[in-house]
Amino acid sequence: MTVTRTATSSTETRVDRSPAPLDARRATFAILALALGGFAIGTTEFVTMGLLPQIADGVGVSEPTAGHVISAYALGVVVGVPILSFLGAGLPRRTLLVGLMGFYALFNVVSAAAGSYGLLTAARFLDGLPHGAYFGVASLVAASVVAPELKGRAVASVMLGLSVANVVGVPAATWLGQHVGWRAAYLSTAGIALATVAMTLLFVPDRPGDPEATGRREARSFFTNRQVWWTMAAGAIGFGGMFAVYSYIATTVTDIGGLGEGTVPVFLLAFGLGMVAGTWVAGELAGWSVFRSLIGAGVGSAVVMVLFWLLAPYGWALLPVVFLITAIGSVLVVNLQLRLMDVAGDAVTLGAAMNHAALNIANALGAWIGGLVIAAGYGYRAPALAGAALAVLGVGILLAAAASHRRAETAAPAAH
């Protein structure tokens, strides 16, 4: 444990009791346990989309109506972050992780047992509640078990579980659901969540929580922090471009690109592989500069969105662009997570978790704006240009955040 005193105002000091990092072997197993939780969450979140026809038949509703269970989960993520972070601010982090993942396993089982559309929708909402809080706390724990210069890689490794889920977990669970029944998919992800609980108890160090941390203090510190709001806005808007494209990829590939329906899974695989590659690269770039990585990812995202618009009519030429969209988007996600952890001040638990609330807003915003431009008659290529505009706006917000920070730093010595 290292103890340092840092001035937080002219009248008070703050004691930073940072736990000592683990040795390399123990840290690797701890991060692997945390990443497994990300794998469980990623598999559960996206498998619903692959099994929507079977789920609709299973609970006796139309497929568009069944799609509301996806929205219910996303709403649960947004609602759950502030509530669970508020309640768990002072708890030991391993205890909190076990509780969150146990809750996740429970409502996957309830989802599998649901006999009606109403119960399934409620179960998916409740299952979404721990999503953001888990990633937030897991990121904090991962950063604490390694040396400071490895913090970016550790957080990226936790997020890698979510990325790998899109390449391995979602296809496997979808196959299981198609051949055994959609309920089996939710039961399998409940099993992964329980395995995460076991590994967390075995490998994640048991450290006491911060006795001074309270939900009220974290909320007050977080929601009055201008840099937090700038960063969340950059994520909610700048990352929306990816979802503007992703939401309509199937029709773009077939109707605009002229390819058969059988090629759509190949493009979805490219999305997943891009996510894995980008998450790994994000950890490396974070060691260089979190903020510069965010600016570079935002500019790069705008460029590849324009490339998507240009190459959409050329079929397979679009495939590497699809890979790049999620690769660059993943750099944005990881470094937004790190920036929120850095700027949150005393509200570290809430700050680490709120990134996922912002990203789910980006999901809804991107899909909505993409649908608007299509409905306006601009066609299925147009969401890419809308996505480029969102990416540019996200960069503008980050630059405004940097300018605001410089002004605050300049004003502080004068006020003192």
pLDDT for residue 2 is more than 60: no
* 307 belongs to a structural domain: yes
Show Cβ contacts of residue 305 under 8 Å, excluding neighbours closer than 6 positions. 241, 245, 325, 384, 385, 387, 388, 391
> Of 186, 213, 240, at which residue does a domain stop?
213
195: exposed, middle or buried (Cβ count in 10 Å: 0-12, 13-18, 19+): middle
- Do residues 328 and 278 touch, judged by C-beta distance below 8 A? yes
pLDDT of 73 higher than 60: yes
Per-residue pLDDT tens over the stretch 293-314: 999 999 999 999 999 999 999 9
Residue among 128, 110, 127 nearest 119 (CA): 110
Whether residues 183 and 291 share a domain: the answer is no
In this structure, the answer to whether residues 98 and 234 fall within a common structural domain is no
Write the pLDDT tens digit of every residue in 43-69.
Answer: 988 888 778 788 889 999 887 788 788
Per-residue pLDDT at 124 exceeds 90 = yes
**pLDDT value, residue 413:** 60
Q: Is residue 5 part of a domain?
A: no
Count how many residues are written for the chain: 416
Same domain, yes or no: 299 and 199: no
What's CA 309's distance to the chain center, in Å?
26
Same domain assignment for residues 134 and 182: yes
How far apart CA 313 and CA 9 sit, in angstroms, is 58
For residue range 324-346, what is the model confidence (pLDDT) as tens digits? 999 999 999 889 988 887 887 76
Long-range contacts of 13-17 (CB under 8 A, 24+ apart): 14/346, 17/210
Task: Give the per-residue pLDDT at 4.
Answer: 40
CATH value at residue 116: 1.20.1250.20
pLDDT, greater one: 286 or 398: 398
Residues 294 and 256 in one domain: yes
To which H or E segment does residue 15 belong? strand 13-18
- Least Cα distance to 334 among 388, 384, 297 occurs for 297
Last residue of a domain, one of 213, 233, 264: 213
Domain that holds residue 355: 221-416
pLDDT attached to residue 33: 96
Looking at the fold, whether 239 and 174 belong to one and the same domain comes out as: no
Burial class (CB in 10 A: 0-12, 13-18, 19+), 250: middle
